[in-house]
Structure 1
Amino acid sequence: MSNIKNNFKIHKPSSLLIITPGYPDKDNSLIMSKFVKEQVEYLKSYFDTVYIISPIPHSFGLFESDKLCHDYTYDNIKIYFPRCYYVPIFYFKKILLDNRLKVIINTIEKNNLKFDVIHAHTTWPSGYIGAKLKEKYHVPSILTIHENGDWFEKEVKMDFPLINYAWENSDVLIRVNNKDIPILKQYNDNTYSIPNGYSSKYKILNKKECRDILNIQQDKKVIFSLGVLIKRKGFNFLIDAIKIILKSNPDILCVIGGSGPLKKKLEKQIHDLKLNNHVLLAGFIQEEQLPIWINACDIFVLPSLSESFGIVQIEAMACGKPVIATYNGGSEEIIISDEYGLLVDPRNAYDLAQKIEIALNKQWDKEKILKYAEQYQWENIASRIVSVYNKTYSENVIFN
């Protein structure tokens, strides 16, 4: 063993296979797991070829993903969207129907894909599939666990054999926060904390010009929030908070970007509270428009009940904006000082309203926020991920 250590040389992989539950289509008209695509943009320069496989459920053209997602290539990246069948039901610790592993193997064989490292995103099914492909093709598999706090906690409590298999048999586990590392180390000693990142398009722009583009009055105090309109994102508490704030701040405008199943319910809440002139549901916002919306605001608010990390808050910081967020499992590891933002109790509209008012009246140091956010630039995060690839691949070459 000592001779191996003395002669240890880092071997670098030349091709990467990514398994992900979602990936944007060619025209970016359907945004799924955009953070994976952004990460790939900064990983691709380290490889000759990057393969991405994202299984899409057959729906006879009913689902947007089935209609829009077709194989495409750009730069040195090849994306495959094989169609699959699965019923997302766990019954007696078995899956009723799921052929995603099979269709991924078929895609690999059909296209004669050769890869040195596998990187899977999210535990089920990608992490499980990555561990199975590791056995079949004898290449190392890395799993990044993106699950929000509540989801991750359920996975641990389920004690589901296939989930445990993914954690125990991946060569490396990466968690996007720090607090869950001790739990994951019970399944796999090779567990690291590496956060998500933000792209270079998030930067400071002229606030006046951004407001002119969006037709927002210059004298308004603008709050911006973003996310899928689902219960976990806590937008109902933000709307209640705006009602409270209006008593002392009549010039408030709160913009919530995103689409989702709770749209009608949130619209009714806004109408019932007579907030139509103060809360705007902006709907789905195109990726290229997001930096404009963020730069047009005064503060960014993330009222989520549960997050693993919360990419939008570092994107806001990259634009020099302070962030008001809840104690949700991810934000407290990012907002580590009141120089970058403020933390509030989840599900507490009064606490949220109070912290928003404090933030609107505080003089924030943009340069300090920007400097802090730099650690989350994708260039820096990608470099850390590639170091894990290289180390794991090199060890695999030597010991196999």
Structure 2
Amino acid sequence: MRLLVFASHLFPNYKNPYAGSFVVEQVRHLKKFCDIAVCVPHPWVPPLVDKFSARWRRYAQLPKEEVVAGVRVLHPRRLVIPKVNSWMWMTFSVTLCCWRALSSADFDMLEGQFVLPDGFAAVFLGRRWNKPSVIHVHGTDVHTIPYLSPLLKRLTVWALKEAKAIRTVSQDLARRCAELGVDPCKVRVIPNGVDIHRFTLIPRREAKERVGLNPERRHLLYVGRLVAVKGLDLLLEATALLVQQHRDVELVFVGDGAEREVLQRQVNKLGLNGRVHFVGVQPHDCIPVWMNAGDVLCLPSHREGLPTVLLEALACGTPVVATAVGGIPEVVADRQVGRLVHSRNPKEMAACIEEVLEAQWDRQRLRDYVEERFSFEVVTKELLEMYGSVMRNCSSSVNHEHARDEGRKKRNSGTEKR
């Protein structure tokens, strides 16, 4: 099977070289079983514009094709208008550039990672090229974007209804698809995966020393974007309560984002200077070490799909504390691998973190829990079963259509003879 994956922003791209690491790993594992290519559009640079702008000059030098993790990545050019980056415009420009640049003869199936713009592009081009299409739903694409405007909702619903199959990463997202009017029969729940060969156990003390943390302290860890939807103000308030009773507790933020300055001001206000550390974006290869260095990974989000950061922490034998939103309860078996927080009350979050810090955890059992349910070996098998089902159903439909056409021809021939 020849599979083309549309992943305009959930894959390393011109804006974010670290984007979509979980999609990179997914296609890398799928490559063992099928011929796969990824489409990540880059900006089209009009003639002479690169002569006057260093940024556009850099865009003009971007490759038209490259290899990432052993997978062929295509970069057709799309029209980018400065300061115009709406979901609507992205959907139009991604679909149009792929339509003009790609050939239907090269692929058997199209899939989009995220409903807009990539799922829409996969479905639109699939209909015109007579190829089956699959959409992967990750979270924001169904619980937020459709409700930003009536038009975005119409585009989202159209793409989901016209796709031959939908993969959601959690039961929660499957329910949200059903609320948008999607037939539940074509939705498959297949969780995100984790590379258990990359996220492995390292002695906690060794990991702390390797990343420059005091091995005599206990560390709360957050890994991800510093953005409002992650609810990090709650984690800071909970930390302020914890340090009153535990002098050895510190909080480490790994990552960066729009809320960085807001969070720093909150740290100052709560008197947490010296207890909270912002270490910024870390190299991808260093993340497993950070996961081992933390004593508990915290995720206080307002909304989520199925966050891979929880899987990565557990694969490294680190327990987790997370808010019970989205698909998180489908990952975090309460008190088995950590604790679920059911409110936005800092006292509840602080109590859950304290309970996890004081408990004795079998790190190998935490790792085994993830390996049995969420390893890429398990997830890849389920994805291949879904692809096979789609291809068989499409083949059956084509054969049925052909038989119907043949029958119609015979009936018409008999009529002419009479």
Scaled by the length of structure 2, the TM-score of the pair is 0.84
Kept in 2, the 8 Å contact 1:56–1:84? The answer is yes
% identity of equivalent residues: 22
Rounded to whole Å, the distance in 1 between the matches of 2:57 and 2:16 is 10
- The Cα offsets for residues 333-387 of structure 1, whole Å up to 9 and x where unpaired, read as 1112311110113432221111111111111222321221111011110110011
1:46 aligned to 2:40? no
Bigger mean CA offset, 71-80 vs 303-312: 71-80
Match of 2:4 among 17, 30, 37: 17
Aligned to 1:288: 285
Q: Could you tell me which amino acid in structure 2 is paired with residue 107 of structure 1?
A: A
Change (3 A) 1:153 1:78: same
Q: Name the counterpart of 1:379.
A: 377
Letter in structure 1 aligned against 2:393: E
Q: Which whole-Å CA distance do the structure 2 matches of 1:289 and 1:137 have between them?
A: 42
Pair 1:105 & 2:99 matched: yes
Offset, 1:180? 3.3
- 1:397 CA drift (Å): 2.1
- Separation in 2, partners of 1:140, 1:333: 30
Corresponding residue of 1:145? 137
Which residue is equivalent to 2:41? 55
* 1:354 and 2:345 matched: no
Tell me what 1:198 maps to.
Answer: 194
User: Secondary structure of 1:98's match?
Assistant: helix
User: Which amino acid is 2:259 matched to?
Assistant: L
One-letter amino acid of the counterpart of residue 53, structure 1: C
Displacement after TM superposition at 1:153 (Å): 6.8
Aligned-partner Cα distance in 1 for 2:39–2:14 = 17
**1:151-190 equivalence runs, <5 A:** 151=144, 154=147, 160-185=153-178, 186-188=181-183, 189-190=185-186
User: What does residue 35 of structure 1 align with?
Assistant: 22
Question: What CA distance in whole angstroms lies between the structure 2 residues aligned with 1:346 and 1:376?
Answer: 27
Which residue is 2:397 aligned to? 399
Max radius of gyration: which structure?
Answer: 2
* Structure 1 residue 56: Cα displacement: 3.3
Relative to structure 1, is the Cα distance of residues 89 and 299 closer, same or farther in structure 2, using a 3 angstrom cutoff? closer
Residues 347, 50 of structure 1: alpha-carbon distance in 2 compared, 3 angstrom cutoff: same
**How many pairs align?**
381
User: What amino acid is aligned across from residue 54 of structure 1 in structure 2?
Assistant: V
Show the 5 A alignment for 1:331-370.
Answer: 331-370=328-367
Name the aligned partner's letter for residue 378 of structure 2: N
Preserved CA contact (<8 Å) 1:26 1:72: no
Query: Are residue 304 (structure 1) and residue 338 (structure 2) matched?
Result: no
Aligned twin of 1:227: 224
Match of 1:389 among 387, 390, 395: 387
Amino acid aligned to 2:27: V
Contact kept, 8 Å, 2:44 with 2:60, in 1: the verdict is no
Against the structure 1 CA distance between its residues 136 and 81, is the aligned structure 2 distance closer, same or farther, given a 3 Å change threshold? same
Cα offset, 1:160, TM superposition? 2.5
CA contact (8 A) 1:50 1:76 kept: no
Native 8 Å contact 1:304 1:346 kept in 2: no
Q: Judging changes above 3 Å, is the alpha-carbon distance between structure 1 residues 157 and 192 closer, same or farther for their aligned structure 2 residues?
A: farther
Aligned with 1:142: secondary structure?
strand
Larger RCO (alpha carbons 8 Å, 6+ apart): 1
Task: Provide the C-alpha distance between the structure 2 equivalents of 1:387 and 1:165, rounded to a whole number of angstroms.
Answer: 25
- Whole-angstrom distance in 2 between the partners of 1:191 and 1:65: 41
In the alignment, is the contact (CA less than 8 A) between 1:327 and 1:345 conserved in 2?
Answer: yes
Per-residue deviation, 1:23: 5.0
Q: Following the alignment from structure 1 to structure 2, what is the Cα–Cα distance between the partners of residues 285 and 64?
A: 27
Is it true that 1:328 corresponds to 2:328 in the alignment? Answer: no
Residue equivalent to 2:266: 269
Greater helix content? 2
**Higher mean displacement: 183-192 or 292-301:** 183-192
> Does residue 256 in structure 1 map to residue 253 in structure 2?
yes
Query: Runs of 4 or more off by more than 6 Å in structure 1?
Result: 26-29, 155-159
Residue 136 of structure 1 pairs with residue 128 of structure 2: yes
Identify the range of structure 1 (353-362 vs 27-36) with the bigger mean alpha-carbon deviation: 27-36
Distance 2:280 2:86 in 1: 30
2:50 match: none
1:99 alignment partner, SS class: helix
Q: Secondary structure in 2 aligned to 1:393? A: helix
Counterpart AA for 2:40: S
TM-score of the aligned structures, taking structure 1 as reference length: 0.87
Q: Which region of structure 1 is more displaced relative to structure 2, 183-192 or 270-279?
A: 183-192
Q: Which amino acid aligns with 1:39?
A: Q
Instruction: Report the RMSD for the aligned CA atoms in angstroms.
Output: 2.7
Shift of 1:44: 0.4
Out of 120, 125, 133, the residue aligned to residue 117 of structure 2 is 125
**Equivalence for 1:7:** none
2:173 and 2:224 map into 1 onto residues whose CA distance is 23
Give me the whole-angstrom Cα distance separating, in 2, the residues matched to 1:114 and 1:106. 14
